[in-house]
Structure 1
Amino acid sequence: MHFLRVFCDANGNHGNVLGVVRDGRAFPDEEARQALARGLGLSETVFVDDAHRGIVDIYTPGVRLPFAGYPLVGVAWLLGLDRLELPVGSIPVRRADSLTWISARAEWVPPRTLRQYAGPREVDALAVPEPGEWVYAWAWQDEAAGRIRARGFPGRGDGIDEDEATGAAALLLADRLGRAVAVTQGNGSQIMAAPGPDGTTHIGGRVCTVDNPAH
């Protein structure tokens, strides 16, 4: 197991903790993988099925996902590849300065409700909603500069009441807004997202290793 902190800040703080099983053959079927993801209790766990070709498999504690943002940024950083392969399609990877970026299509993102609020204080004051729809609550911190405050509520009832950082939701928001954004999510996670020239959207951020996934 590798544990990574994805979308951390420049000091390696915050970010959403990701579990990566480097050799997916250790968990050969969906039932075994789901059981491990449930036991770890992280927002997502990734199983690497082919480290050379970038074939990966993503699970929450309750479901298998065809696509997710922060797990792909994290595993791209760990494997050092230029491309990842998912059932939905190929995911190009690039690196710039201290950031790892992936490119994906907004239609690959599972259903998300993007809910805008008047300002960051309203977002900060939100209580965790009852299980139901996946809500990405956001507000402009500085609209001219593209700076956004956000919180993510999966609404799945699987023990993850709030996601510290959600790349797929930030990708969807940048696509809907049609502009580059810098998102501060959760307690201070940093997510960059920007529409691309070919119908894709780019999301990127910093990744670091973490010894204790509980912190």
Structure 2
Amino acid sequence: MTDYDVLRVFCGPDGGYGNELGVVREGSVLPEPAGRQRLAAELGFSETVFVDDPERGVIDIYTPAARLPFAGHPCVGTAWLLDVPELVTPAGVVGTRLDGEFTWIEARAQWAPPRTLRQYASAAEVDALKVPPPGERSEMGVPPDEVWGRLYAWAWQDEAAGRVRARAFPGRGDGIDEDEATGAAALLLTDLLGRALNITQGRGSQLLTAPQPHGWIEIGGRVSLER
């Protein structure tokens, strides 16, 4: 069996929650994309990272069904694990920094996969959403192809303070019905709103974001080693 670490990324203030991430530190043991894809599917995490050069931070990211040029929570988790100044992804070079309990990455919104950012009137409405069965119109009031098309549901908890409640339904058909924490979606929402955000996603994960000059956006969160 290929060795891998399991991290929790974007943990809550008490260290709980966060989105699980698999990291294969020795990517050379599975050099071919087909083998990496098979392992990512077997592990079943929302993303699995293969490290191809730990000193330069060269990484390769897979969901259970597809290879990704960039993803937020894999980059934050791997930045924490490798403690390097940058990560090299197919989308571009991701700046990284560790700041006390938070690990930060700097990326661009255009690197993130497209998502439907749907605003709701209250955090309670977001909390009440249920994952719709495929092929059925849900209580969300939108067709299933949109619901299952990478929906990121959000509402203000405190607009003045930039506090957001969010949930993400990736709709990839790979067994991940809801993402506990989604850095790429937070990147897109920050770009849309043009302001720093403090996002509570899933059951209690926390993501912090901040726009930077020249179209860059920082995303930060807590990371812990699970096993």
Q: Residue 96 of structure 1 is aligned with which of 93, 96, 99?
A: 99
Q: Matched residue of 2:213: which SS?
A: coil
Aligned match of 2:137: none
- For 1:169 and 1:44, the matched residues in 2 are separated by 14
| Residue 51 of structure 1 pairs with residue 54 of structure 2 | yes
Q: Superposed, which structure 2 residues align to 1:90-129 within 5 Å?
A: 90-129=93-132
Q: Would you identify which runs of 4 or more consecutive aligned residues in structure 1 move more than 6 Å? A: none
Conserved in 2, the CA contact under 8 Å of 1:56 and 1:84? Answer: yes
- For 1:7 and 1:68, the matched residues in 2 are separated by 13
By how many angstroms is 1:80 displaced?
Answer: 0.3
Residue 65 of structure 2 aligns with an amino acid whose one-letter code is G
**1:126-156 residue CA offsets vs partner (Å, 9 max, x unmatched):** 1113363101000000000000000000011
- For 1:95 and 1:198, the matched residues in 2 are separated by 22
| Residue 86 of structure 1 pairs with residue 102 of structure 2 | no
Residue 34 of structure 2 aligns with an amino acid whose one-letter code is E
Conserved in 2, the CA contact under 8 Å of 1:152 and 1:163? Answer: yes
Q: Residue 198 of structure 1 is aligned with which of 214, 219, 227?
A: 214
**1:81-109 residue CA offsets vs partner (Å, 9 max, x unmatched):** 00000122111111222101000110111
- For 1:164 and 1:91, the matched residues in 2 are separated by 22
By how many angstroms is 1:180 displaced?
Answer: 0.2
- For 1:31 and 1:8, the matched residues in 2 are separated by 31
**1:159-192 residue CA offsets vs partner (Å, 9 max, x unmatched):** 0000000001001101110000000000000000
Residue 117 of structure 1 aligns with an amino acid whose one-letter code is Y
**Aligned length, in residue pairs:** 211
Residue 78 of structure 1 aligns with an amino acid whose one-letter code is L
Q: Matched residue of 1:159: which SS?
A: coil
**Identical pairs, percent:** 63
| Residue 208 of structure 1 pairs with residue 211 of structure 2 | no
- For 2:40 and 2:93, the matched residues in 1 are separated by 24
For the aligned residue pairs, the C-alpha RMSD in angstroms reads: 0.9
Q: Matched residue of 1:93: which SS?
A: strand
Q: Residue 171 of structure 2 is aligned with which of 155, 174, 178?
A: 155
| Residue 10 of structure 1 pairs with residue 13 of structure 2 | yes
Residue 20 of structure 1 aligns with an amino acid whose one-letter code is V
The structure number with the bigger radius of gyration is: 2
Q: Identify unmatched segments of 5+ residues in structure 1.
A: none
Q: Matched residue of 1:123: which SS?
A: helix
TM-score by length of 1: 0.96
By how many angstroms is 1:194 displaced?
Answer: 1.2
Residue 18 of structure 1 aligns with an amino acid whose one-letter code is L
